[in-house]
A and B are shown apart, each in its own frame.
Chain A
Amino acid sequence: MAIDTVSFGKVNTHLDLLFADLESALKGSERELGKALKSIREDPVYRSIAGGFPMPVPACPSSEKLRQRIASISEKAGARRDSLKTFLDAVYRFVESHDSAWTEHGYFIAPVMAQSSQSRIAGMVYLQAVPRMLVTEKLHIEDLTRDRNLLFATKDYFGKIISALMKTIYYVQISPFELYDTLTHYTYRLQFGCQITEGKSIGAAALATFALVHFQTLLGEQFHNVVAPRCGTFLTGEVDVDGFVHQVDDAPEKVACALEEFGPDLRFVLPNENRLPRHLEQRIASGNLHYVNTAEELLAAVFSSDDFRGLDQARAALFRLLSPVQRSTLRKLIIPGIDPYVYEKMAERRGAWATPRRQEGGVYALSTAWRDRLDIRLSLELSGLQDANESNGGHELVEVILDGSEQMSEHWIVAPSTGVCRMTSALFEIDRRIDPKTQDLVCGFLSHQKFYPVQHGKLASEIEAFIQQIRHQHRLEHRGPFFRPVYESSLREFHDRLKRVYILSDLDAPDLDDLKEPNLSSLKHLRLFMAAESEDEDQEVALFDQNGSLSQTALDRYFQRERGTISEIQIDLGDELPVEWEPAQGALNMDGESFVLRFKVDDLRSEARIRLANQHPHWVRISGQVRHDNGPGSFSFVEHPTLSALPSFNPPETIRLTAEEFEMWRKFETSDWRCPSCGSSESHLLDTPEGRFRERIVFESLGHLSGGYLLMRKGRPECIFFRTGCQVSGFSFVVIADRLYWSQTRGRVYEVPYESGVYCLRAGPEAFYLRRV
C-alpha cells in the first residue's frame, strides 16, 4: 500500500483498509488469502502496531469500526481463523490497550503534509516522550526527528523551542541554561517515521512535549496531580523564540485528516491566525477547539482541566522545587513587569498559615486567581474577607499562644488580689474584646501541639483553671518556648482559616525566626512586660504596664474592631486586559500601558470579580480611599493573588433573532435590506420612531435591552448583550473610558471603528456590529 493511496499516520483507517483487503481475500482461494496475509505481515503500519505503536484515542468512530471488523472477520473466517489469529490479536490489543490517563505511552498528534510525486497529503505523526537511559550529552537534534530539513537546515530549531518554553514557564527574558538540564537527560523521537515537509508546524507539538517531559522529570509522582494532558491532543503551529504561536499552512486539511481518523472528541490546539472554516469547527465537539496566540496559552490549553489542574498549578509545583539560588538566578532575568518574587509567591500557598497582611489604611486584602479569573476582596475587618457560606461560618480565627515555660513561671502565679495569673488576665481581656459573631478565639501553648477553643464569656476563674491544668498536665514548664509545634498544629488544623496570631511571652522563641518567614506576616509577639534592655521599644508591645496593670491601649490596639468604610478602589492590572467584571459599575481606564479598574464603594468591605481576556496577572496594585472615624485615609499596595479554582462568569446574555428578523438581518448591508422599523433600504441598526426622542434597535426582539452594549455578528441569529465587555470567537470587546475597544492578541488593543452610528469591526469574513443601547 503506497503512501499516496492512504494518508499516513491514519493508523485506524489504514488498518481498516487492510481488513478490507483481507475480507475480499477470504472470499477467494487459499492462495489469495496467503498472499493477503503476506502483504499484511510486510505492512509497515501493522508491524508498527505489533511492535507497540502509540495507542489510539478512546471511543473514536474509527477504532469502533475496527472492533466491528475484527468480530466480523473472525466470524467469516470460519476454519481459517487460526491463520488470521496473529493479525487479529495484534489489532485487538492495539484497539483495546488505550489508557485514558496519561501514561508512558501517551502522545501528542502533530499534523504534517507529506509531499508525494503527485500531491500533498495531510498526515499525522505521533510525538511521544521516550525516556531513554540517562545521558550526559546535550540535546541532539538527531534524537528528535528524522526530518532531513530539520536536521540540516536549522540546527538550533529545537533549542529555540525549549528556550521559548523555559521563558514562558519561568517568566524570564533569557532562559538560564541550567533549566535545560533536565531535558537533556531525555531524548525524544518522532514516532512513526515519515518524511515531514512542513517541519516548523510541529513546533507547537514539540513545545508541548518538551513541557510535558519537563513536568514529568521534575515533578515525578506529583505530575498527575498537577497537570492534565490529554493523550492524542492535536497540536499545530509554528513557535518562535519569543513564545508566539504563528499560523501554519494547510491547517484545515490537517484538521480534517485528524477528524477523519479520530472523530470529534479529539482536543485541537491551533494558532489563532488559523481560524478553521465553519463546517470544520462544527465537527469538533464543544470545548475541544482552542485557538492560541502564545506559548502560555498553548500550554494552558494542553495541560489544563476543569478539576483544578493546569499550567499555574504546574508552575507552583515547579517553583516550590527551585532552590533559593535558582530563584535568585531567575530573578535577575525576569521579564520586566513581573513581580520578582513571583517564584516565592506562587510556590507558597499564601494565606495557608496566617491572615493577609494588614495594609496601610487598615485594609486587609485577599486575592485569588485562576486562569483568566481574578477575585479581589478588601475589608477593614479580617472577617469581612471570608465568605459567609464557608464552612467555618465566615468567622475570623484569633490564635493566642501562651508561653508555659519555666522562665515565664512568675506570670503563671495566681495573684491574691485577682485570683488569677497574668496569663489568664490577658486571655480574659482578649476574650472580652472578641466579637463572637465574627470571630473565634483559640488558645495554644508554645511547645505544645494542640489548640483549645475559648468559649466567649467564660469566667476568668474558669479560664485560669483550664490553662493551668493544661500547663501542668503537659509539663510545659519542662518544654521551653519553642514555636514549631504550635505552628505546625495551626497549619494542620486551621490551614484554610483566616487568622490572626499572637504570642504572649517575654522570651524570644529560638525557632520563631526560622518559621516566621515567609508566611507569618500577621504574627505578633506581645510581651507581658517590656524588657529592661529592649532595643526597639517602638516595635515591642507589652500588655502590662510597669505597675502591673493591663494596658487597655495595647489591648485595644490589637483587639478592637475597625470602624470606617472603604470609599474607592483602583485595581491596576498591568497589561492584562479585563473583559468582564463585577460590580459592573466599575470603570476601566488606561494608565499608560496599564489597565486600571476603578470602583466606587461605601462599605466596610468590597469585592471585585474580574475575567481577563487572556490570563490573570501575577500581581496587581490596589489603591484607594478609606474613611475612618478620625478622618479619610488612603492605601496603596501590591497584592499577589493566591492560586485557587474560581467559578467562571456566567456567559453574557444571548438573544436569538426571530426567523423573520434573522432573514432580514442576513440582508444587512445589501441592497435587499429593508429596515423592519422604518422600511428604509439604507442599512442601519437604530431608528428613532416618530414621537420618540431616543433611538432604539430596529429589531423588535431586542427592544427590551438597555444599559449596555449589543453585539451582532454578520450572518448569525445570536446577539450578545454585555455591560463591561465580552469575548466572541477569540475577539475581546471591552469598554475603556466609555469607548469600545477590541483585542485579539495579548498586548494589542484597538479602538473599534465607528461607522454611521454603529461600531463595526470587520475581520476577514467576520463582521461584528456593536451599539450601545
Chain B
Amino acid sequence: MNGTVKIQAARDRRTGFPVLRLSNDDPFVSLFPVTKLQAEQWIWEGGLRHQEDPYLTTLLIERMERIEQSQTPRKYPESVRKLLRVPISQCRVENLPGLMATNLTLWASDEEIIRPGVRFPTPASEWGRLIKWIGGSVPSFVEWTKAQERFNRFKTKDLINGVLRLGFPLSPAIQHLMQKVEELISEEETGLPFINLGLYELISDPKEFQKITEDPPVTLRRPQVAGESALWPTVEGREVRWRPVFQQHLPIVTARLWHEESQVSDSQPEGGFNHFQLAANPLHLPFEEDSPAETGRGKSRSALNSYSSSRVTMGNRCPVCYQTVPAEVFQNDAGLWCYRESRQPKSDEDDVEVKKNDQGVRAHSNSKPPERTGIDEVEAVQLEYLSIARRDPSKIRSVCLSGFSESGKTTGLLSLWGLMTFPPGDSRLPRAFPSHWGFDQIKCSLLDFIHGKQLINISKQTEQMWIDGDLPIRNTALQRALRCPVLFKVSRKTNPLWTFNRQIILNFNDIAGELMTRPQALPDHKDYPNISTTTDVIFLAPAHQIRNANQYLQEFVKGLGVVAFKGKALDIGQINLILAISQIDRLRHSPEADAESLLKILMKPPYTLPDNQHAGSSLEEYCFAMRQVHFGLQSWLKSKVPNLVTVAERFASVRYCGFSACGFQPIKEGKKPGVEACLPFEPQPVRVADPLLWLLWENGVIDF
C-alpha cells in the first residue's frame, strides 16, 4: 500500500452519471463509458427531433439495443451477442457490457472521411450528437492511457463504492446500475470499470490511409479506439492497443467522456467537489512478458526433419499458366508473354460457336502479342522473375496454399500481403529484418496490379481488406485464385571480405478450398495448373476444426498422388509441408477444454513481427519463438490428433505453426457485393508471416 489518495467525484450535468478526477488540474473522467441509459435519455429528450422520418428512431433504438441481433444471430461472432440488452437485474459478468451504448455511427457519410482535419466522432454522426448533448469530449490516446494507468491503482469496486457512499441524489436507474456493476466486478479488477477489459473506447486521434489503386489516389481518415475488448475474439495480449475503426456503426465501440468543471454538477458552495479516499496500489507496472522458454532455443536446424530442395519445377515453365515453354522462348533474353489464343471465327454464327466451345490454348511469345480477335488474357512475366528462373530455377519455389474450405487461405494471403505493402514504402515485413541485412522484397507482378481490371487483383483486394475492412468473397473452384511470385533478397556483409547474398522467389498460389473435397479434380483443373509444380505446401487447418484436419490432409495427399508432373506421379516425399493452424483467434472464446493449452503454445511471445525501428524483440527471438511453437504444436498434435501428424510426416518435412490473419473475427454481414465479411478494425495479424519466415529460413535467406 502506498497510503491513500483523494478522489474527487461529481456528476455530469446532463444525465447525472458519476465522473471522477484525481487532482484539480485534471479533467473529470466518466466512471462508465456512455451507457444505454444515457443514450436513451438523449433520444427521449429530443436527440433525434431534427430528422424527418420518425422510423429512423426506431431503427436506431433497435440497432443500439441490438434487438435485430437476436433475429440474425450469425451476423456477428457469438460473443458479440453479449451486447444484447439484458435487464440490469439479470446482468452477469459475461453480458455486463450490454449496459453500454453501442452501435451508433462514428461518421455520417463517406464525404466526411475524406475531408482533411476530420475528427471523430463527426458532429453529424450519432455518437457526435450524443456526446455533444451529454457535454463531454473524447480523449486523446495519451490522455486515455494516462487515466487508465492512474486509476489502475485502485480497485474498481472501491471506486464504485466510493461514489455510492457520497450519497449523490442518483436516479434510481443509475444507482441500480452502479450497484449491479459493483456486485459483478471481481475483487481483483482494478481501474475504471470496463477500461481494462470490456469494450474498445473511442479516442480522438484519427488515422490516415491512402488507396493507391484509386485513380487518382484517395486519402481516407478513420477513427481509432483504444483498449481491449472482452467481446471480440482476439489473440491480443494485455498491452494497450489502439486501432482504426472500419465500420461506421461498429457494435463494440463505446466512448468514455472527459468533462471540464463547467460540464459537471455537485461542486460545493465553498468550492471544490465531494471526494472520497481510497488506498492506492503502486503504479501499474508494464506487462512483463514471459521470457522465452528454453524449449526449442537450443534446437538447431538439424533438430528439424530435413527440408527437401531437390525438386525443381519451374525451369522453362511459365509462372502464369504453368505450362512448359519451349526453351528457346523461355531462355530468350527478351521478355515473355503468356496469352490465350482461340480459333479465328469464320462468320458471326461461328463466332458464337467459338465462344461457346473453344477454350483456347495458352501460347507464349517473346514479344507482346498483337491485339486482335482470338487473343486475350495477355499477361507479362516480370523480368526480375525471368532473370532468376532462366539462371537458377531451383531458386523458385512454387508454394501451394491449401486447406479446408473457408479456412482463411485468401484472407491469410491478403493479410501477409498487407504486411508486405502497408504503410506504402515502409511496410511491416521488411522492418522485421535487421536493418543491416539489406532485406528486399520484390513483387514479381504478373499483371498490372495497380490498374488491372481483368483478373483478380491482389493489390486491390489487399487495400479492400486493409483500408476498407472488406474481405473478398471466397474463391470457388470455378475461378482463378490469387497467385503472385515474390522475390526475397538479402544482402549483408558478414565480414569485410565476404557478402552474404541470398535470394528466393516464392510463388504463392491460392486454391479454392472446395477442391479439397474433390481430389480427383486437382490434376487437370485449368485454373489451378500450378499444383503439379508444387514444391511446398502450406496447409491450413482452422483452429476450431483441428480434430478433423487429418481427413482433409489425407484427401489432399490422395489428390496430389494422382497429379502427374512430366509424366510421373508426384512424390509426396519430395514436397515440404507447413501445417498452419488458422483462425487461432477463435480459441480465445472456444468452449473446448484444449483450446487454452493450444492457444498458450501458439501465443508464445513475441507473436507479432519485430520492428527494427522500435526497441523490443528481434527477428532472432521471433524465429526462436517460431521454433518453440513448432515443437510445442508437434507434441500437442501428437497427443491430441496423432493421425494428423502421421499423415503430415509423409511429406519431406513438416513445420508447424499457427496464425490469425486479422487478430479477431470479422463481421459476416455480406451486405456489399463482392464482400464476404467486414473487418471492424485494421487487421492486427498474429504469426501470419510464420509460413513465409519458415520458407525463408529453410531456403537460407534467414540464417541464425
**Chain A residues with a Cβ under 8 A of chain B:** 134, 136, 218-222, 321, 323-325, 328, 405-407, 409, 447-448, 475, 477-482, 484-485, 487-488, 491, 510-511, 513-518
Contact = CB atoms under 8 A, between A and B. Distances in A.
Nearest to B88: A514
B58 interface: yes
Interface string B88-120: 111000000000000000000000000000000
A510 B183 contact: no
A675 to B, nearest CB: 67
A295 B265 CA distance: 41
**Closest CB pairs A-B (n = 10):** A513-B87, A447-B44, A324-B183, A406-B54, A477-B54, A514-B88, A480-B61, A479-B44, A517-B89, A325-B183
Given A323-B161, A478-B46, A488 B1 contact: no
A510 B172 contact: no
The secondary structure that dominates the B interface is: helix
Contacts of A513: 87-90
Of A134, A475, A513, A514, chain B has the most CB atoms within 10 Å of the CB of: A514
B49 A475 contact: yes
A535 to B, nearest CB: 13
A484 B37 contact: yes
24 contacts: A134-B279, A321-B164, A321-B165, A323-B183, A325-B182, A325-B183, A405-B57, A406-B54, A406-B57, A448-B44, A479-B43, A480-B61, A484-B41, A487-B172, A510-B40, A510-B65, A510-B67, A511-B36, A514-B87, A514-B173, A515-B172, A516-B87, A517-B89, A518-B89
B394 interface: no
Given A484-B173, A514-B88, A134 B51 contact: no
A447 B44 CA distance: 5
A406 B55 CA distance: 6
Given A325-B182, A513-B90, A406 B172 contact: no
Contact of B167 (A220, A480, A515): A220
Contacts of B49: 475, 478
Interface of B: 1, 4, 36-37, 40-41, 43-44, 46, 48-49, 51, 54-55, 57-58, 61, 65, 67, 85, 87-90, 157, 161, 164-167, 171-173, 176-177, 179-180, 182-183, 277, 279
Nearest to B177: A514
A478 B48 contact: yes
A482 B57 CA distance: 12
Contact of B182 (A323, A511, A518): A323
A534 B51 CA distance: 33
Nearest to A324: B183
B89 A484 contact: no
A479 B57 CA distance: 7
A488 B171 contact: yes
Contacts of A324: 179-180, 182-183
The secondary structure that dominates the A interface is: helix
Given A480-B44, A484-B171, 8 more contacts: A134-B279, A220-B166, A328-B183, A407-B58, A409-B54, A447-B43, A478-B49, A484-B44
B165 A218 contact: yes
Contacts of B177: 514
Contacts of B173: 484, 487-488, 511, 514-515
Given A406-B58, A477-B54, A510-B65, A482 B40 contact: yes
B166 A134 contact: no
Contact of A136 (B87, B179, B279): B279
A312 B361 CA distance: 96
Contacts of B183: 323-325, 328
B172 A488 contact: yes
Contacts of B166: 220
A478 B179 contact: no
Nearest to B48: A478
A8 B44 CA distance: 69
Contacts of A134: 4, 277, 279
A538 to B, nearest CB: 21
A221 B164 CA distance: 13
Nearest to A327: B183
Nearest to B55: A406
A480 B67 CA distance: 14
Contacts of B4: 134
A510 B164 contact: no
B85 A510 contact: yes
A482 B40 CA distance: 7
A513 B57 CA distance: 21
Given A480-B57, A484-B41, A491 B172 contact: yes
Contacts of B57: 405-406, 477-480
Contacts of B41: 484-485
A328 B183 CA distance: 10
A475 B53 CA distance: 11
A324 B182 CA distance: 8
B167 A222 contact: yes
Nearest to B4: A134
A405 B58 CA distance: 8
A447 B183 CA distance: 29
Nearest to A134: B4
B685 to A, nearest CB: 38
B129 to A, nearest CB: 13
Contacts of B36: 510-511
Contacts of B54: 405-406, 409, 475, 477-478
A480 B127 CA distance: 18
Given A324-B180, A406-B58, A407-B58, A220 B40 contact: no
Contacts of A478: 46, 48-49, 51, 54, 57
Of B44, B51, B85, chain A has the most CB atoms within 10 Å of the CB of: B44
A404 to B, nearest CB: 10
B87 to A, nearest CB: 3
B158 to A, nearest CB: 11
Given A136-B279, A510-B40, A323 B90 contact: no
Nearest to B90: A513
A517 B176 CA distance: 10
Nearest to B183: A324
B69 to A, nearest CB: 13
Nearest to B185: A325
Contact of B43 (A218, A407, A482): A482
Contacts of A511: 36-37, 40, 173
B19 to A, nearest CB: 19
A748 to B, nearest CB: 40
A510 B61 contact: yes
A323 B179 contact: yes
A452 B209 CA distance: 55
A475 B165 CA distance: 38
Contact of B40 (A323, A325, A484): A484
Contacts of A482: 40, 43-44
Contacts of B171: 484, 488
